Amino acid sequence: MSQLKHVTIKTISEVTKLSLTTVSRVLNGSAKKYRISDDTQKVVLEAAKKLNYTPNQAAVSLRLSRSFSIGLVVPTLSNPFFADIASIVSHSLRTKGYSVVLMDCDENEATEVEAVKLLAAQNVEGVIVIPSGIDSSHINILIKRNIPVVCIDRYYEDIPVSYVATNHYTGAFSMTEYLIRAGHTKIVCIQGSHSVVANNLRVKGYKDAMAANKKAWVKVVGNSFTQDNGYIETRLLIQKKERPTAIFTLSDTIMLGALKALAEEKLAIPYDISLVTFDNSSYLDFLACPITSIAQPVNDIANISIKLLLDTIKANANGVKLDQMKLLISPSTVYRQSVRILK
């Protein structure tokens, strides 16, 4: 069971009869700075290749006190929105020389606290977090250790971290206005969870748009981002005498439930009732009636977060403290055929 010994610069040094120093300098690219001759460089490089050398990152990290890694904290990757962000973050950061330590928190706040502590102990150089909950105290662990943080989709009043999010408010506002311009007056909003800031902003956008257009028929129902919620609320809505002319579901999950309820009652979209939603899942195009939806700017959010984090890290390294940034990215609306034009 020949335990194959690790190849280190020492190995190479012995093989090439050159000092550790020289080998190190060639291998980490500072050869010209220290005037290592081309011949010597060639010798080292060849030996390294032949021995299949890779530097020991732990040693490098220790010496340089840099980890070359960044933490990514997400509520759960089962949510496509978070998964898409994770996807972009992961391979974008890799091209910039960082590896990504993933922490899936299973939508559990306590788990998130643990995750953050672990990341702090690992000396990650920065953290992108999509918070699962309300509390912010764990983020302070990172702040105290001077680790740059960028939040996605949730804003903390009390701590100075940058954040970037969809502009839920304007998204919902403009979608509601679109319905109003199409002649709808009885527009119902089926919301998700009250404890989610994004939800409340969307609701506010809807309400403000209704108010701005002097619509009296303002109605918000529901309480969770689930298909069941959408199904139940829709069933209740359509069996009333005064049926809404349009339903605005605040997520695609809710929308699916609504769809099922409508199908059961043989109500056709958009003839019998109009339906719009938030999220723009890829399957919307392929439903019996393609559904008009607000699309979260996933790419922008991910890329801006990365840039923000990297800038903060760089500034930090130079002793500069960057101002907190609060970025709201406007979502786009994807118009399909689920809204009936009433006027």
Binding-site ranges for a copy of itself (CB under 8 A): 1, 3-4, 6, 52, 54-59, 61-62, 65, 67, 69, 72, 76-78, 80, 83-84, 86-87, 90-91, 94, 99-106, 111, 114-115, 117-118, 120-123, 144, 146, 227, 256-257, 259-260, 263, 281-283, 285-288, 319
| Residue 105 contact among a copy of itself, DNA, none, beta carbon within 5 to 8 Å by kind | a copy of itself
For residue 148, give Cα distances in angstroms to 185, 269, 322: 47, 48, 10
> Which helix (H) or strand (E) segment is 234 a member of?
helix 227-238
Judge whether 51 and 7 are in contact, CB under 8 Å: yes
| Residue 122 contact among DNA, a copy of itself, none, beta carbon within 5 to 8 Å by kind | a copy of itself
Two tokens, residue 52: 């299949």
Nearest to a copy of itself of 62, 211 (CB atom): 62
Two tokens, residue 9: 């610069």
Q: Which residue has 């280190």 as its token pair?
A: 8
By rule CB under 7 A, what string of x and - marks binding of each residue 27-56 to DNA? Answer: xx-x---xxxx-xx------------x-xx
Q: Select from 56, 66, 63, 24 the least CA-distant residue to 41.
A: 24
By rule CB under 7 A, what string of x and - marks binding of each residue 77-116 to DNA? Answer: ----------------------------------------
Rounded Cα gap, residues 195 and 134, in angstroms? 8
Q: Is 312 exposed, middle or buried (0-12, 13-18, 19+ CB in 10 A)?
A: buried
Q: How far is CA 272 from the centre of its chain?
A: 36
| Residue 343 contact among a copy of itself, DNA, none, beta carbon within 5 to 8 Å by kind | none
Q: Select from 134, 201, 155 the least CA-distant residue to 326.
A: 155
Shortest CB 183 distance to a copy of itself, Å: 26
Measure CA of the first residue to CA of the last residue in the chain; give whole Å.
Answer: 82
User: Which of 63, 144, 240, 266 forms a contact with DNA (CB under 7 A)?
Assistant: 63
Two tokens, residue 56: 């020991």
Binding of DNA by 144 (CB under 7 A): no
- Distant-in-sequence, close-in-space partners of 50: CB < 8 Å, separation ≥ 6: none
Helices 109-121, 137-144: inter-axial angle, 10-degree rounding: 10
| The one segment of 16-24, 136-144, 266-274, 291-299 that binds DNA by CB under 7 A | 16-24
| Residue 8 contact among a copy of itself, DNA, none, beta carbon within 5 to 8 Å by kind | DNA
Two tokens, residue 174: 């403009």
Shortest CB 134 distance to a copy of itself, Å: 20
Nearest to DNA of 32, 194 (CB atom): 32
Q: Which residue type sits at 90?
A: S
| 163, β-bridge pairs | 151, 326
Nearest to a copy of itself of 176, 224 (CB atom): 224
| Residue 257 contact among a copy of itself, DNA, none, beta carbon within 5 to 8 Å by kind | a copy of itself
Interactions with DNA, residue window 145-204 (CB under 7 A)? none
Q: Is 11 exposed, middle or buried (0-12, 13-18, 19+ CB in 10 A)?
A: middle
Nearest to a copy of itself of 239, 299 (CB atom): 299
Q: Which residue type sits at 276?
A: V
Contact positions toward DNA, by CB under 7 A? 6, 8-10, 17-22, 24-25, 27-28, 30, 34-37, 39-40, 53, 55-56, 59-60, 62-65
